[in-house]
């Protein structure tokens, strides 16, 4: 698909250093494998709790690396989103040692991968299409080489022993096609906003999945606390969007020369500049 996009002119020649590319691919591959293994080894309830913890981890990364400062209302919006999604999705919660390790790897690698999307686009002036053009071929190649061995190690099943029938092939191709749009939309969203905003928006996907499930597969499981959780989560997203867009809602703090030093040198800049993200 990246070859097609390049020939259509959507992907332009650009530069991304090899060490940065390899770090991104490492985070992204650990994210894919970690999330799948976490879902395989953990209960659905603990899997959802692990996904919810990505927002605090993404916030921590932005605070540590980008010196982001969140207002009280922005933090409140995030908490309300987490509460609403937890009410909707978290049911049975059971965990084991290997499941916890898989979830830990999945959460941190996914958060680092999403942070790195914003970092690479900002630092190397890459568009979403260009970043996809750099990363997708390397990521696909590495997973094609390592995936079958890793799959056998984790599941004791060989990919070449799978019975590839027409229905399964149709769904595999459909899944891969949708994944292209998913990756591109992720790059566009994180490039325009931040990883935290993408995570908050991503939980709207969880709400939509629940709603579509009820529409297509019946109303089994639809009860008052699920509906209440949806309402709380949507309210939290609105609150987060409104709070983070206001002045001071979400700012990057950068330090310059102290005021006393500036006055000695006759400079007019303030000692601390808050830049709106």
- Are 236 and 79 a contacting pair, CB within 8 Å? yes
The structure's pTM equals 0.77
- pLDDT at position 95: 75
- pLDDT at position 221: 58
- Are 252 and 68 a contacting pair, CB within 8 Å? yes
Can you tell me which residue has the tokens 């939980």?
Answer: 203
- pLDDT at position 204: 75
- pLDDT at position 111: 92
User: Which of these, 80, 102, 128, 97, lies nearest to 235 by C-alpha position?
Assistant: 80
- pLDDT at position 116: 92
- pLDDT at position 254: 54
Structure tokens of 4?
């097609």
DSSP class of residue 1 equals -
Angle between helices 97-124 and 54-66 (to 10 degrees): 40
Residue ranges of the chain with per-residue pLDDT less than 50 = 255-276
Number of Cα atoms under 13 Å in the Cβ half of residue 184: 14
- pLDDT at position 110: 93
Listed as own residue / partner, the contacts of 62-69 with beta carbons closer than 8 Å and 24 or more positions apart are 62/115, 62/194, 62/195, 62/196, 65/115, 65/119, 66/252, 66/277, 67/252, 67/253, 67/254, 68/194, 68/250, 68/251, 68/252, 68/253, 68/277, 69/250, 69/251, 69/252, 69/253, 69/274
- pLDDT at position 55: 83
């Amino acid at each position: 698909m990246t070859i097609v996009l390049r020939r259509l002119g959507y992907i332009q020649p650009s530069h991304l250093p090899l060490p940065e590319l390899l770090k991104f691919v490492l985070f992204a591959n650990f994210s894919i494998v970690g999330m799948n293994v976490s879902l395989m080894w953990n209960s659905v309830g603990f899997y959802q709790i692990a996904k919810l913890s990505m927002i605090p981890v993404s916030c921590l990364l932005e605070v540590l690396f980008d010196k982001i400062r969140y207002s009280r209302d922005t933090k409140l919006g995030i908490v309300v989103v987490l509460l609403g999604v937890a009410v909707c999705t978290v049911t049975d919660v059971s965990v084991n040692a290997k499941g916890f390790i898989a979830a830990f790897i999945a959460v941190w690698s996914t958060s680092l991968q999403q942070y790195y999307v914003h970092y690479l686009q900002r630092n190397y002036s890459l568009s979403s299409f260009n970043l996809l053009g750099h990363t997708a071929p390397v990521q696909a190649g590495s997973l094609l080489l390592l995936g079958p061995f890793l799959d056998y190690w984790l599941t004791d099943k060989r990919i070449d022993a799978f019975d590839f029938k027409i229905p399964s092939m149709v769904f595999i191709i459909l899944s891969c096609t949708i994944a292209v749009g998913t990756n591109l939309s992720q790059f566009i969203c994180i490039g325009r906003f931040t990883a935290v905003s993408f995570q908050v928006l991503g939980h709207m996907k969880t709400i939509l999945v629940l709603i579509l499930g009820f529409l297509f597969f019946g109303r089994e499981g639809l009860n008052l606390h699920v509906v209440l959780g949806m309402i709380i989560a949507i309210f939290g997203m609105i609150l987060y969007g409104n709070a983070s867009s206001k002045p001071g809602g979400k700012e990057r703090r950068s330090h310059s020369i102290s005021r006393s030093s500036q006055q000695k040198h006759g400079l007019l800049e303030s000692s601390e500049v808050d830049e709106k993200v």
